[in-house]
């Protein structure tokens, strides 16, 4: 039997409730989102609000993560925006859980492969950056895209290039994450399918020979999943820093 790799990206209905003219549908995409936010808030709660005498491994890991972000906020004028650290930390953890859950448990929906979701997150980031520019330039936001030049024609040309470059950041930020995760999930699906068919056709020995390749691909995709979440969060911090500074 042939299974298309694209079937992996179709939501699976868990249950549906119909009440008069309204239909409530709950699928694995909704379950993945709810579980991700529950895990993220659980980690933050136990790491930040529980006060044991000795720090737990979870607190040590979270402190190390915050310490890697904190030096960026030490420079003026970014120092006054340290309150944004929880936002960027939550953004990183959300994307990391979106990516990791679907790698280890195939029944979960690969949220980060959907461009409209990553585009929504990138839109929140870049929309906030634009609002910061509006506040910084007292409403005269076009000054943020003005490039000084002796030639007025070149200045106008560079002005439109800067606007185009700023608007394209939304697409580049979202496409980088969704396309990398989409290709990774496609590769995992194909490798796992080959491994499964080898086991059915030739038995346990052939599966055992091919298993190291499957394990290596899973380890590689795990690293890529965390790295893509980190890149998204770090670029978001960079764009905020650029707008503020």
The pLDDT tens digits for 171-205 are 998 998 888 888 888 888 778 777 777 777 777 77
Provide mean pLDDT across the span 153-170.
81
Please give the share of the chain, as a percent, with pLDDT higher than 70.
75
pLDDT confidence of residue 44: 74
Say if residue 239's pLDDT is above 80. yes
- The first and second tokens of residue 11, run together, are 């939501």
- The first and second tokens of residue 239, run together, are 């764009």
pLDDT confidence of residue 147: 61
pLDDT single digits (tens) 77-97? 666 666 777 788 888 888 888
Comparing CA positions, the residue from 89, 131, 117 lying closest to residue 236 is 89
Say if residue 235's pLDDT is above 80. yes
CB contact burial 29-44 (16+ within 10 A = b; e otherwise): bebbbeebeebbeeeb
pLDDT band at 66 (very low <50, low <70, confident <90, very high): low
pLDDT single digits (tens) 144-160? 676 665 666 777 777 78
Distance, CA of 30 to CA of 32 (rounded, Å): 5
Provide mean pLDDT across the span 11-15.
77
pLDDT confidence of residue 70: 61
What is the residue-averaged pLDDT of the chain? Answer: 77
Question: Which one has a higher pLDDT value, 9 or 214?
Answer: 214
- The first and second tokens of residue 188, run together, are 């995992």
What is the SS3 string spanning the chain?
Answer: CCCCHHHHHCCCEEEEEEECCEEEEEEHHHHHHHHHHHHHHHHHHHHHCCCCCCCCHHHHHHHHHHHHHHHHHHCCCHHHHHHHHHHHHHHHHHHHHHHHHHHHCCCCCCHHHCHHHHHHHHHHHHHHHHHHHHHHCCCCHHHHHCCCCCCHHHHHHHHHHHHHHHHHHHHHHHHHHHHHHHHHHHHHHHHHHHHHHHHHHHCHHHHHHHHHHHHHHHHHHHHHHHHHHHHHHHHHHHHHHHHHC
Other beta carbons less than 10 A from residue 74's beta carbon: 9
Other beta carbons less than 10 A from residue 234's beta carbon: 15
Provide mean pLDDT across the span 201-225.
79
Other beta carbons less than 10 A from residue 147's beta carbon: 12
Provide mean pLDDT across the span 114-124.
88
pLDDT confidence of residue 1: 43
Distance, CA of 182 to CA of 145 (rounded, Å): 34
Provide mean pLDDT across the span 30-45.
82
| pTM of the predicted model as reported, rounded to 2 decimal places | 0.80
Provide mean pLDDT across the span 50-76.
65
Highest mean pLDDT among 23-32, 157-166, 229-238: 229-238
Say if residue 225's pLDDT is above 60. yes
Say if residue 237's pLDDT is above 50. yes
pLDDT confidence of residue 30: 82
pLDDT confidence of residue 17: 80
Say if residue 6's pLDDT is above 70. no
């Amino acid at each position: 039997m042939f299974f298309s790799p694209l079937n992996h990206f179709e939501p699976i209905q868990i249950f549906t409730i119909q009440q008069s003219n309204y239909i409530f549908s709950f699928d694995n995409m909704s379950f993945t989102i709810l579980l991700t936010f529950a895990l993220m808030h659980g980690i933050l709660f136990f790491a930040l609000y529980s006060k044991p005498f000795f720090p737990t491994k979870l607190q040590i890991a979270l402190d190390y993560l915050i310490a890697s972000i904190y030096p960026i906020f030490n420079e003026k004028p970014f120092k006054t925006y340290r309150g944004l650290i929880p936002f960027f930390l939550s953004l990183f953890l959300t994307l990391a859980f979106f990516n990791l859950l679907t790698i280890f448990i195939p029944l979960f929906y690969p949220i980060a492969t959907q461009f409209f979701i990553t585009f929504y997150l990138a839109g929140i980031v870049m929309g906030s950056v634009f609002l910061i520019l509006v506040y910084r330039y007292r409403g005269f936001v076009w000054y943020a895209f003005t490039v000084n030049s002796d030639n007025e024609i070149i200045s106008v040309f560079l002005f439109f290039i800067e606007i185009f470059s700023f608007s394209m950041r939304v697409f580049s930020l979202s496409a980088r994450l969704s396309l990398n995760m989409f290709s990774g999930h496609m590769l995992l699906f194909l490798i796992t399918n080959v491994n499964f068919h080898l086991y059915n056709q030739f038995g346990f020995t052939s599966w055992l020979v091919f298993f190291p390749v499957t394990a290596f691909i899973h380890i590689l995709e795990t690293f890529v999943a965390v790295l893509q979440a980190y890149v998204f969060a770090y670029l978001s911090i960079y764009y905020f820093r650029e707008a503020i500074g």
